[in-house]
């Protein structure tokens, strides 16, 4: 295999590794409650089994793609690689994406009272719970304001403010954009979700709006591939 072919296969392997990492997406860093009943545990187990099956299917597809690369000429490999890279960028959230979806508007609830009320803010814990439920109910791609959510997106407190992708969230109202294959079904679930109750407890409301042809921004941060190493002789990770 020529040096050029080795470089092409090496780049492909890097993106395959990143694609596999996407399949293990876990958006929440919060601890799960130990008070879950048996049905919740079973539901979680079923979900993990489905994710595992999807991973196996994706691995089978990637093996077929790799075999096709090996049988192609260098020119065909370059063209196929460019197409694969573009597709992987879409899956990883590195390019804009347009589809039908749901807009979630998070705003404060203010009750007439002679006593001053503290202005509500969205905590990282609330956001992580919301993202988990959205993923459970069929979300494909998510953006919070102008920040695209990907596998590596950090959501944390910094100096009393909630940061997403290393950028501070603005004051309420905050808008969350969600693409889904079935937006109506997702919205119906979210209308009666635990997240809606959790936000209400913190004096915040959630309004849902169906939108056709919603465009999410691309992820703007740099994805770190420093931990990925490629064997120069075999082209494997």
> For residue 115, what is the domain's CATH number?
3.30.70.1880
Q: Does 139 fall in a domain?
A: yes
Go through 59-90 and write b for each residue having 16 or more CB atoms within 10 A of its CB, e for each that does not: eeebeeeeeebeebeeeebeebbeebeeebee
- SS3 string of 40-87? HHHHHHHHHHHHHHHHHHHHHHHHHHHHHHHHCCHHHHHHHHHHHHHH
Q: Does 184 fall in a domain?
A: yes
Residues 127 and 197 in one domain: yes
Residues 57 and 121 in one domain: no
Q: Does 81 fall in a domain?
A: yes
What pLDDT was estimated at residue 30? 40
CB atoms within 10 A of CB 47: 12
Q: pLDDT tens digits, residue range 134-148?
A: 999 999 999 999 999
Q: Which of 140, 121, 114, 116 lies closest to 214, judged by CA?
A: 140
* Residue of 69 and 116 predicted with greater confidence: 69
Residues 124 and 59 in one domain: no
Q: Does 20 fall in a domain?
A: no
Confidence check: pLDDT of 33 > 50: no
The pTM for the full model equals: 0.63
Residues 74 and 183 in one domain: no
Residues 68 and 148 in one domain: no
What pLDDT was estimated at residue 182? 95
Confidence check: pLDDT of 86 > 60: yes
Residues 87 and 106 in one domain: no
Domain that residue 76 falls in: 45-92
Q: Which of these ranges, 2-6, 23-27, 29-33, 156-160, has the smallest mean pLDDT?
A: 29-33
Residues 175 and 123 in one domain: yes
Confidence check: pLDDT of 222 > 90: no
Residues 108 and 60 in one domain: no
Residues 86 and 101 in one domain: no
Nearest-10 crossing angle of helices 124-136, 194-201: 160
Q: Does 119 fall in a domain?
A: yes
Residues 170 and 211 in one domain: yes
pLDDT band at 54 (very low <50, low <70, confident <90, very high): confident
What pLDDT was estimated at residue 227? 43
- Mean pLDDT on 13-29: 56
The dihedrals phi and psi of 196, each to the nearest 5 degrees, come to -60, -40
Q: Determine the length of the chain.
A: 237
Confidence check: pLDDT of 64 > 80: no
Q: Does 107 fall in a domain?
A: yes
pLDDT band at 202 (very low <50, low <70, confident <90, very high): very high
Residues 105 and 182 in one domain: yes
- Mean pLDDT on 217-237: 59
Residues 147 and 207 in one domain: yes
User: Could you give the number of structural domains in the chain?
Assistant: 2
* C-alpha angle 93-98-99 in degrees, rounded to nearest 5: 115
What pLDDT was estimated at residue 28? 41
**Which DSSP string corresponds to the chain?**
--HHHHHHHHHHHHHHHHHHHHHT-----SPPPTT--HHHHHHHHHHHHHHHHHHHHHHHHHHHHHHHHHHS-HHHHHHHHHHHHHHHHHHHT-S-EEEEEEEEEEEE-----SS--PPP---HHHHHHHHHHHHHTTEEEEEETTEEE-TT--EEEETTEEEETTEEPPSSPEEEEEEESSHHHHHHHHHT-HHHHHHHHTTEEEEEEEEEEEEEPPP-SPP--TT----TTT---
Q: Is the dihedral of CA 157, 119, 135, 198 positive or negative?
A: positive
pLDDT band at 122 (very low <50, low <70, confident <90, very high): very high
pLDDT band at 94 (very low <50, low <70, confident <90, very high): confident
């Amino acid at each position: 295999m020529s040096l050029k072919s080795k470089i092409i296969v090496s780049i492909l392997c890097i993106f395959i590794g990143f694609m596999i990492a996407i399949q293990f997406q876990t958006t929440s860093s919060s601890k799960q409650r130990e008070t879950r009943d048996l049905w919740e545990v079973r539901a979680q187990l079923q979900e993990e089994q489905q994710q595992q099956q999807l991973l196996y299917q994706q691995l089978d597809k990637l093996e077929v793609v790799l075999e096709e690369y090996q049988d192609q000429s260098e020119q065909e490999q370059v063209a196929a690689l460019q197409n694969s890279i573009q597709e992987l960028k879409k899956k990883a959230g590195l390019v804009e994406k347009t589809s039908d979806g749901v807009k979630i508007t998070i705003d404060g609830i203010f009750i007439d009272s002679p006593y001053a009320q503290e202005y509500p803010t969205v905590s990282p814990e609330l956001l992580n719970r919301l993202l988990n439920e959205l993923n459970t109910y069929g979300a494909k791609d998510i953006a919070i304001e102008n920040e695209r959510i990907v596998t590596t997106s950090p959501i944390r407190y910094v100096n009393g403010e909630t940061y997403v992708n290393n950028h501070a969230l603005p004051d309420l109202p905050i808008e969350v954009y969600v693409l889904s294959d079935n937006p109506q079904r997702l919205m119906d679930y979210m209308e009666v979700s635990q997240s809606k109750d959790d936000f209400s407890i913190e004096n915040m409301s959630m309004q849902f709006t169906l939108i056709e042809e919603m465009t999410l921004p691309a992820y703007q941060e740099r994805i770190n591939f420093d931990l990925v190493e490629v064997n120069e002789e075999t082209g494997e990770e």
